[in-house]
Amino acid sequence: MTTALTTDSATDVPTDEEADAARRLLDATDAASGTLLRLATAGSVDDGKSTLVGRLLFDSKSVLRDQLADVERVSLDRGLTRTDLALLTDGLRAEREQGITIDVAYRYFATPRRSFILADCPGHVQYTRNTVTGSSTADVVVLLVDARHGVLEQTRRHLAVAALLGVPHVVVAVNKIDLVDFSAEVYQGIADELERVARELGVADVRTLPTSALEGDNIVTRSERTPFYDGPALLELLETIPADSAETEHPLRLPVELVLRPQGAAADGLTDYRGYAGQVAAGSLAVGDEVLVLPSGRRTRVTGINLGSRRLQRAVTGQSVAVELADDIDVARGDVLVAADDAPQLARQVQAHVAWLSERPLHERDRVLVKHGTRTVQAIVTSIDGHLDLDDLSTVPAGELELNDIGHISLKLAEPLPVDDYSRSHADGAFLLVDPADGWTLAAGMVRTDGARPADDARDGQAA
């Protein structure tokens, strides 16, 4: 899967309780539900994202009785005449009081055909950074558009984020279709404009459907009130969309997180044990494989793979393992084990697209930290080559990048990093920019080795 691009909010990730529940759910449903699909919601404020997620959970029988009782109680206290399903995901007090989504809310559910991890992202412009976080590991982005308002600037921004992050599939729900009397003309006009914008941004796979999250039309079952639409309901679509396997098919990339040296405190037989722990970010490795250690370039061979107390012959993308090597060479946190016959290039000069996530603007000659995998190096911004104009989707000159800008920059690194174009390898191409003064995340970055800018990507997509 793709490398997660995180921000500094401690609530951007699931709680321990949520993570434990997710692991139990996925273990219990793995055999029955087949593949795991990661999805994220996006769209402008008040487009109905939380209501859609709540409806999806409720109609698919994925809401516990006590959760529903709590939501019914809160809805009654507010004087509502029906249960507000948005409350199933808006868990923060400020979210419930304002009726908006602020943080990324993670939910886990399963059907007989598939298991899901869902990230409900906020729609406000100032919380775009959280949408970047939620979408960074998604196989599918479900983008909502209010049928009354059509395609807005935030719609285009979220499509641009999905394109830059390389999200394989985008499903656009033209929501609140009931408020325009289930008009086929309104739906088709929005669908045509979305197709044009997606094509210009280079989004590969976009599918649209009319929905009413409040009434349940085309969420879990197909609606008879949209005869002009003959496609599947949202849940049917999500159950059949192929999960991304691109990183599994790429050459091995394993960033080393920790060197394991138990020594005298270890159990018998482990006194001389040395293992290199990390998560397989791409590809796979097996006992006997030849690997390179970057950036040193030393070649060695895999002699053992451990997953907890179990010995493995092979590890694949997503597994966190400890690897034993044949030679006693210098390997430390931040190094990367890569396939010996397909190693990335080491680079000190990097061009990249960045989604700027900080209220502090970026200027040329600013000093930053680049976090790539488990390695962090110093860097300087040598140029800001422009940012994406969301009105006409062109790249315009820029002297600085401000909050929520999507720009193209050049960096000079203090130490070489093994990078590749993000479109070819998310594991090699994803990085974060970090403020060296306080450690706050400044931007999510995607390496471009061909020097293309966002507008160039759009032209490439049209030419294809």
pLDDT at residue 266, rounded to an integer: 54
pLDDT at residue 34, rounded to an integer: 56
Enter the pTM of the model: 0.75
Under a CB-based contact definition with an 8 Å cutoff, are residues 353 and 395 in contact?
no
pLDDT at residue 123, rounded to an integer: 63
| Structure-token pair, residue 173 | 């729900």
pLDDT at residue 269, rounded to an integer: 64
Distance CA 428, CA 373 (A): 8
Distance CA 433, CA 189 (A): 39
Distance CA 135, CA 41 (A): 8
pLDDT at residue 423, rounded to an integer: 84
- pLDDT digit string (tens) for the chain, length 464 residues: 334 443 333 334 444 454 454 444 444 444 334 588 999 988 887 788 878 888 888 888 877 677 777 777 877 777 777 777 777 665 543 443 444 444 577 888 888 889 998 887 776 666 677 788 788 888 999 999 999 999 998 898 889 888 888 888 999 999 999 999 999 999 999 999 999 999 988 887 899 999 999 899 999 999 999 999 999 999 999 999 987 655 567 899 999 999 998 766 555 666 778 999 999 999 999 999 999 999 999 999 999 999 988 999 999 988 999 999 999 899 999 999 999 998 888 999 999 999 998 999 999 999 999 999 999 999 999 999 999 887 777 889 999 999 888 899 999 999 999 998 988 888 889 999 999 999 999 999 999 987 554 444 444 444 43
pLDDT at residue 218, rounded to an integer: 95
Contacts of 21 (CB under 8 A, 6+ apart): 108
